[in-house]
Structure 1
């Protein structure tokens, strides 16, 4: 008999609010230097050649709100739009800014990015359907939600390490700041010693090792933070989170984060050299409070375990060290064979339910997967899938990472809708 799964309370089932949209309006951090809120915290610098804006926003009402807010600050022409990094969405609003400049009778602004951005955009163009599916899952949105929201627009010029715009006291520098991406940049005002850190500087643990993305270089991110600290900023604006005020605080946050990343690298390398595989390391490693129990290292989006996996995979291949997985059978065949091999299916379900009753959700999921990954509508198989969906939602309540919560919840939705195979979810 198939178990009845009660839906969680509405408040618990509520979808996450849009994570990347931080609000509207502006905030002046120094004369002529302003936060421009939209998708993350964009930035505006008033230079002697015109306005320089970091990130055009995702388009639609968000970008229009950014344009309107900017015009409450200044009537100067827009000199340049700059990509903080090449992730899709942050600059989908470029056409709206170009139309705004044209409507004012201004010259088209320069569209500036690091030289690695065009290569990234070309890769996204090749994999656009995949990018949309991954975004739907990661941000818990319905199928097709991103089909018209992730438009890409190439820059008109690129730079390598540093590009100066303007002159004198009002000049700014665009600096390569590889971190979340290899094409991220920061903005530096030498005269006022104000830093806009872009994707390199957020208010939670660095976003390394996210489950859906390519590997990111942990040590390079630490190098970037130390290079930004060497500028001796008096203020540092983060892409997400409150502005860091005072040279002492800026130094503390930047260098503390770099130190934590270097500790992770050293500890994972030590455990790899002992012969531990990825899962062994995840079970063994302990994250010291002095490095990770601070506000700006909280796992609000990423997670320290994600970083461990990225470091491990930077030195290892894809193999999980189980010879059975070298040349696996098809997933549906494996699920069917395992389920057929279990003669006491009720016993498996009972053991999984016992673990769930003691709130050991992760272990309950491991056990129920012996049946839940099989195809078909046999009573025990259908019940196992229903239980898995229920326990995925329970597991989601335990984890602080936005990404992990969404992956658990979307996985549960797909199981109940019978759509998990379309997304490769098991």
Structure 2
């Protein structure tokens, strides 16, 4: 894979530098996503230490422009690796100042997640390379995990009186996500549960995320009646009415998706048929905070479908398959008019029907070997994947199309199991 960077491929999770004061004693620190700082009578509480290196150093510098108080606690907004790779820098900062080490706090599910990530480390790194369009090995030293020193289940209060804050479990993108609530100022930091795009459910590389549980988390947040809500990504939502609108509208859209997918499954439709049939109402999915800039509503459909179905695609041929390369080779060998297949696929592409062209060209492009028609089919597939990348809004989809095209051209797709 190449590691070229365009405006469309900038590090998606790094949101800039500096700070923003949301309310007295409550601040955003920009790093990997938007971290958060609360000034309590126990000391500073920091949500997310950042990815380490220069980004975390900049976060610490920005914090010290806000307050000289000691850091009482570093808290993990959720267990995705990278958001808290910078913990050692914060601990070193406290030592340099002669202060006690901050408490390192996370939800009780984070250690279990970290154990799974360590078990599947090579897989996690390969998936991140594809999803974020980075060169092989890029994440080998960038996804450090630091175990929390303490965990909690449902709720944890830090500080007292008017300067207290509450951490609470907010299952959403992960089952270990938390949020922060300032009850006196009625300011919510939503963490991974609150974005300025459609909830990140059903991503192609990740385990399932519970759509209805995420909706329930947003509804619980709305019940707090926040005056302001800070997103992990995106602008602060200011005003009680605006916060209610975003939280309840998003929850309603997620619950609609669940009900609609279940309705179509009950009709007997398989996953591909559900995806072809479903239509996303503009009034639910056309608003600014539901734009598919990272995820996609079709991704959510797939996760809901998977939550109620097994792995079988309803084609009996796939129950006990041959090796993919053997099956693809046999299909290619059975096609006597390979030039006709290529011409048919090219005609679809010329008509702008890139996805149908990909379906047809796969009759040859996934086959092994270096026969001229096979090589030509792969070249065309790579070119059409780039065309598809221009058509989709989702950052993840664009990267998967582009990285797959590069690997097909370089002959390295087998390393990732890509066809």
| TM score, norm. by length of structure 1 | 0.97
> Which residue is 2:73 aligned to?
80
Aligned residue among 137, 147, 150 for 1:144: 137
2-side partners of 1:124 and 1:237: how far apart? Answer: 28
1:302 aligns with 2:295: yes
Counterparts of residues 176-187 of structure 1 (less than 5 Å): 176-187=169-180
Q: Can you list the C-alpha shifts for 1:4-55, whole angstroms capped at 9, x where unaligned?
A: xxxxxx99x7760100000000000000000000000000000001000000
> Which residue is 1:166 aligned to?
159
1:38 aligns with 2:31: yes
Counterparts of residues 89-168 of structure 1 (less than 5 Å): 89-168=82-161
For residue 191 of structure 1, report the CA deviation from its aligned partner: 0.4
Aligned residue among 217, 224, 230 for 1:224: 217
2-side partners of 1:265 and 1:183: how far apart? Answer: 22
> Which residue is 1:353 aligned to?
346
2-side partners of 1:166 and 1:57: how far apart? Answer: 23
For residue 335 of structure 1, report the CA deviation from its aligned partner: 1.0
1-side partners of 2:285 and 2:62: how far apart? Answer: 36
1-side partners of 2:36 and 2:226: how far apart? Answer: 16
| TM score, norm. by length of structure 2 | 0.98
Q: Can you list the C-alpha shifts for 1:262-315, whole angstroms capped at 9, x where unaligned?
A: 000000000000000000000000000000000000000000000000000000
Contiguous gaps of at least 5 residues in structure 1? 1-9
2-side partners of 1:215 and 1:172: how far apart? Answer: 31
1:403 aligns with 2:396: yes
Contact 1:44 1:53 in 2 (8 A): yes
Task: Tell me the matched-pair count.
Answer: 416
Aligned residue among 355, 367, 375 for 1:362: 355
> Which residue is 2:316 aligned to?
323
Aligned residue among 244, 250, 253 for 1:260: 253
> Which residue is 2:16 aligned to?
23
1-side partners of 2:268 and 2:183: how far apart? Answer: 48
SS of 2:332 mapped into structure 1? helix
1:414 aligns with 2:407: yes
> Which residue is 1:7 aligned to?
none
Aligned residue among 183, 192, 195 for 1:202: 195
2-side partners of 1:325 and 1:57: how far apart? Answer: 43
> What is the Cα-based RMSD across aligned positions, in Å?
0.9
2-side partners of 1:363 and 1:81: how far apart? Answer: 50
SS of 2:9 mapped into structure 1? coil
1-side partners of 2:139 and 2:331: how far apart? Answer: 37
1-side partners of 2:30 and 2:316: how far apart? Answer: 50
Contact 1:197 1:236 in 2 (8 A): yes
Q: Can you list the C-alpha shifts for 1:59-99, whole angstroms capped at 9, x where unaligned?
A: 01000100111011100000000000000100000001000
2-side partners of 1:15 and 1:42: how far apart? Answer: 23
Runs of 4+ residues over 6 Å off in structure 1: none
Contiguous gaps of at least 5 residues in structure 2? none
1-side partners of 2:259 and 2:277: how far apart? Answer: 14
Contact 1:47 1:172 in 2 (8 A): yes
Contact 1:15 1:140 in 2 (8 A): no
